[in-house]
Amino acid sequence: MVQKYGGTSVGSVDRIHNVAARAVAAQAAGNEVVLIVSAMAGETNRLLDLARRVTELPDRRELDVIAATGEQVSSALVAMAIQSQGGKARSFLGHQLKIRTDSAFTSARILAIDAEALRQSLKHGSIAVVAGFQGVDDAGNITTLGRGGSDTSAVAVAAAIRADVCEIYTDVDGVYTADPNVCPGARKIERISYEEMLELAALGAKVLQRRSVEVAMKYGVPIHVRSSFSDAPGTWVVGEEAGLESVVVTGVTSDKSEARVMLVAVEDRPGVVATIFGALAAENISVDMIIQNASSDATGRTDVTFTAAKSELDRVDKVVQAVAEQVGAREVRFERDIAKVSIVGLGMRSHAGVAARMFDILFREGINIQAIATSEIKVSCIVAAKYAELAVRALHDGFGLDRPTTTG
Ligand code: ADP
Ligand code: ASP
Ligand code: MG
């Protein structure tokens, strides 16, 4: 089995000993155990802040060299703790396991893992303690997998060694109908489909990194999200099957990590959006929602709005300013104080009127909707950032998510 422990779970010497004890117990119960560990709580933020105090726009390759050290420390500490408790353990860094990634520094993707080293370690009765979040590219550079990336390390390792289960130990005891730290009425979900978990993760529920769910879905790895502070069963993330709750809306989530960018009064002619988004793509900048109005009058001009990660805004600014003149934009506006609130559920496929109900719930709270996006199993609205928590609670209530549902 693979067990992944997040930052809070390895946040102190006592907690590191707790992790070691759990791993030793799991091994004593007859399992071959691979641990993936995150950096100690707060450490990755500390390291990245340090870099930004040296220079405003740090080089991404060097950022990864710094950020990866957090997991190097915790993997060694956990291995030592296991040894001190009489167990056998050995730490592994990304390059030692040949966790090969592409070269997209700060958000690299895993290409392959050399499972042989792990198998050897397991064969000798040793617990392998793998540093999460990090890998190595073909040129030997250290890479990291994006914030929350240890989840993805864990699922990828589980897939590589064909583990029976990938347990994700964190500071909540499962996946809830909304972030329990935001929504007091949130309820633990027993089983959730990969599809729904993927949307929740992509739309802001940071309990699992989005890519970890993608990898789990691709390789059919069952994920069990649970608490490192108790033995209570958590949430199983599994393929679509009977036993999933039959509800229209499974979860509500919000995301404040994006900003809105508006190119005002660009020319309404072929090639304008191609120019704007081509330039962004050339810089490897992902955009999320895109809204373009039809030009409403004879001016032949329209507004193009999109959202992108706040952390990319400096780069977005450069690119957009460079094309603004070319597309005839009168002005470029940035709005950072926004949040995306979303509802997710497989049941939406077969129910009409879900979006309308969402708009009505937000309206009743006096919350203005700035943009909307829908797909088969989700609806997202952009609202003012100050309303994010209120919107989550209102939607959670409005869709009755605090009430237990029938299963099967
Ligand atoms: P770790 O450090 O263990 O990786 P994270 O902080 O990345 O932990 O993820 C756990 C956090 O995710 C919880 O503390 C909770 O606030 C947040 N969260 C957001 N949405 C949800 C949800 N739907 N269910 C459970 N937790 C959620
Ligand atoms: N330490 C990394 C982060 O804080 C990776 C992780 O915790 O999953 O983002
Ligand atoms: Mg996390």
pLDDT, tens digit (0-9, with 9 covering 90-100), for 254-273: 999 999 999 999 999 999 99
CA of 209 from ligand 3 middle (Å) equals 7
Q: What is the dihedral of CA 22, 25, 30, 34, to 10 degrees?
A: 30
Do 248 and 369 have their domain in common? yes
Percent of the chain clearing pLDDT 90 (strictly above): 91
Q: Are strands 142-144 and 258-267 parallel, antiparallel or unpaired?
A: unpaired
* Average pLDDT for the chain: 95
Tell me, in angstroms, the distance from the centre of ligand 3 to residue 378's CA: 22
Atom number of ligand 2 nearest to Cα 71: 1
The residue out of 120, 151, 171 marking a domain boundary is 171
CA of 299 to the centre of ligand 2 (A): 49
Please identify, among 171, 205, 223, the residue that sits at the C-terminal boundary of a domain: 171
Could you say which of 130, 155, 171 is where a domain stops?
Answer: 171
Looking at 9-13, 112-116, 133-137, 254-258, which range is the least confident one?
112-116
Cβ-based burial of 397 (10 A; exposed 0-12, middle 13-18, buried ≥19)? middle
Q: What number is the average pLDDT over the span 376-404?
A: 95
- pLDDT of 243 reads 67
DSSP secondary structure code for residue 40 in this structure: P
Q: How confident is the model at residue 57 (pLDDT cuts 50, 70, 90)?
A: confident
- Verify whether ligand 2 is closer than 6 Å to residue 133 (CB atom): yes
- Atom from ligand 1 closest to the CA of residue 177: 23
The answer for residues whose C-beta is within 8 angstroms of residue 5's C-beta and 6 or more apart is: 19, 35, 36, 37, 38, 78, 169, 228
At 310 the pLDDT is: 96
Residue 253, classed as helix, strand or coil, is: strand
pLDDT of residue 407: 45
Interval 120-145 mean pLDDT: 96
**Mean pLDDT (whole number) for 202-214:** 97
260 and 144, same structural domain? no
CATH number at residue 331: 3.30.2130.10
